[in-house]
Structure 1
């Protein structure tokens, strides 16, 4: 006999409703409706209690009824990018998974599409809005002078970007459009502090070529921490994001006297660890910190900066839904504070 795995409900066999959830949590039906449709209107801990009951009973809003009532499709567009090396692409995988989960909780669905470059992505926006009536878009990999956000804003299409509007004046405080970001500079600064606490005085950085918004931000954090600690801040090698580049850059850095290395990606860190092992520089190998805390880094034991991707995804999705469902709502005085990553220390096997 097969055991049923259907979620429990307030009344056995009954489909959960706003009323049954309200009764179970001791709040009003309107409060439950607000948690489902506009959670920012409900304060903690009430929102958390209601969301927990919603998950427990498996409540899902009726998509058909919602579309008829709101004249919206409930679809959000997300461009899936090609993975260059199979390592750092896991960050966008995590983001998409978390976005999809949160969208499901909010009664929306993610429509994933491919585009070769930003021009093709803009063309896809236009086509998808015409053929699928998407309600909004979730942008990733923002860049200097990003034309995608300009196009969407000009068309009046709701969107939220994962990443600051790089290239704009004071990007960290820009209110040109909605965005959520993680403070990469804080992550590399914390990595420098962790290595300095281990006794390292000559710490190098393997960064991306100049002009990458996220890469430059991480390099700035490295320099700030070095200046704060009285360390040399110009032991920097710029490289394309690959295992091979990590190998070559790490060898150049130790040739310049580096005794520890911060990398702006786990791809670069993996290459650096491999080259240090080959050179017999186990002292440096034990003092390499990557960025993104990918499954590969965790499996090998490489220390890495862990980004709160799931928290970012929930914030992105909730902000986009708010913009879709409350188009006349005024903007706040600024974007939410940058989310802070955490350094995860490990010992390389």
Structure 2
């Protein structure tokens, strides 16, 4: 059986192709009785309008561009995976698909997005992995490509088309929670890569505790975002007398956790960031990043721009949520070495 087309429907109903097309695209232009006949024939035949033809007619691709995020380690990488899945699902519910593509550099990403928009392959795009003085928003604005970003414009003009997790507020909440449990020397285990996200989280920890510059320097250790480096950083913080630790990521919190468990202590007074499956499985406290809310917000922002290119938007900070756990999971073989007392041995909290 031949696939129904606009022409075959028009011939069957003895109507013009334009009339059938109007029923699909501009139903108010067609008399009710004619509209009813066409709609019945469409349902009976299983006719589906051509997406390509609709895109050309409306100058819409019903698609959004998204660069494949750079590979991350297997622990913290789950955040971008969750964001991408949520974005794709929500876009689909709105009738849009997400076009994923690779790019080695930011300039290559912009070039591909501009070309995709020029050829009507996408209507707008989503940016991720924002950094200090990121030039992509300005380049896309100049090229007329609507966008919104997961991540704020660090050190750049605030374009208002962004949503981000409030890492500063999250780290502050984690520090305040640990202080409420009776801890006085709360350390910070962060990143050494100069990340603006890491600096923001460190500022939240230090601000919540009211630390002087000297005290902050004494209680903060910054390392690469690996489990092994997190373990070494934890040993250094223990040597400095820390009794609890706020970590910039669950990768670092896992490293810290291995040190404590091998010394016979629980990881109860470690708080990570991301609430990854590893943290949940081992019972490590962590800040939940509500990436589903971020995905919904940036999607709404690009859809509003598509509908009204002149729309004014403001950036949105989404607060994370602390999930406190008892740190009683088991890892490693367990041993004791010559080292400062574990966290729980130095706390003043009630049992």
Query: CA shift at 1:127, angstroms?
Result: 3.8
Aligned to 1:335: 315
Tell me the distance in 1 between the aligned counterparts of 2:250 and 2:50: 42
Pair 1:227-2:210 in alignment: yes
Aligned to 2:55: 67
Aligned to 1:252: 236
Tell me the distance in 2 between the aligned counterparts of 1:200 and 1:294: 25
Tell me the distance in 2 between the aligned counterparts of 1:87 and 1:272: 14
Asked which structure has the greater CA Rg, the reply is 2
Q: Where does 1:184-223 land on structure 2 (aligned, <5 Å)?
A: 184-209=167-192, 211-223=194-206
Pair 1:346-2:321 in alignment: no
Aligned to 1:309: 291
Aligned partners of 2:123 and 2:146 also within 8 Å: yes
Aligned partners of 1:75 and 1:135 also within 8 Å: yes
Pair 1:81-2:63 in alignment: no
Aligned partners of 1:251 and 1:276 also within 8 Å: no
Tell me the distance in 2 between the aligned counterparts of 1:148 and 1:182: 20
Pair 1:139-2:131 in alignment: no
Aligned to 1:271: 255
Tell me the distance in 2 between the aligned counterparts of 1:320 and 1:65: 23
Pair 1:300-2:282 in alignment: yes
Tell me the distance in 2 between the aligned counterparts of 1:62 and 1:276: 61
Give 3-state SS (helix, strand or coil) of 1:261's partner. strand
Query: CA shift at 1:209, angstroms?
Result: 2.3
Query: CA shift at 1:278, angstroms?
Result: 2.1
Q: Please, which of 237, 242, 267 is the counterpart of residue 221 of structure 2?
A: 237
Tell me the distance in 2 between the aligned counterparts of 1:62 and 1:318: 26
Query: CA shift at 1:68, angstroms?
Result: 5.1
Tell me the distance in 2 between the aligned counterparts of 1:64 and 1:128: 15
Aligned to 2:116: 128
Aligned partners of 2:114 and 2:145 also within 8 Å: no
Aligned to 1:290: 272
Tell me the distance in 2 between the aligned counterparts of 1:175 and 1:120: 23
Query: CA shift at 1:328, angstroms?
Result: 2.6
Tell me the distance in 1 between the aligned counterparts of 2:162 and 2:300: 12
Tell me the distance in 1 between the aligned counterparts of 2:211 and 2:237: 21
Aligned to 2:32: none
Aligned to 2:9: none
Q: How many residues align?
A: 281
Give 3-state SS (helix, strand or coil) of 2:210's partner. helix
Query: CA shift at 1:237, angstroms?
Result: 0.7
Aligned partners of 1:222 and 1:233 also within 8 Å: no
**TM-score, with normalisation over the residues of structure 1?**
0.75
Query: CA shift at 1:295, angstroms?
Result: 1.1
Give 3-state SS (helix, strand or coil) of 1:161's partner. strand
Alpha carbon RMSD of aligned pairs, Å? 2.5
Give 3-state SS (helix, strand or coil) of 2:261's partner. helix
Query: CA shift at 1:79, angstroms?
Result: 1.1
Aligned to 1:23: none
Give 3-state SS (helix, strand or coil) of 2:253's partner. helix
Aligned to 1:151: 139
Aligned partners of 1:202 and 1:232 also within 8 Å: no
Tell me the distance in 2 between the aligned counterparts of 1:148 and 1:215: 21
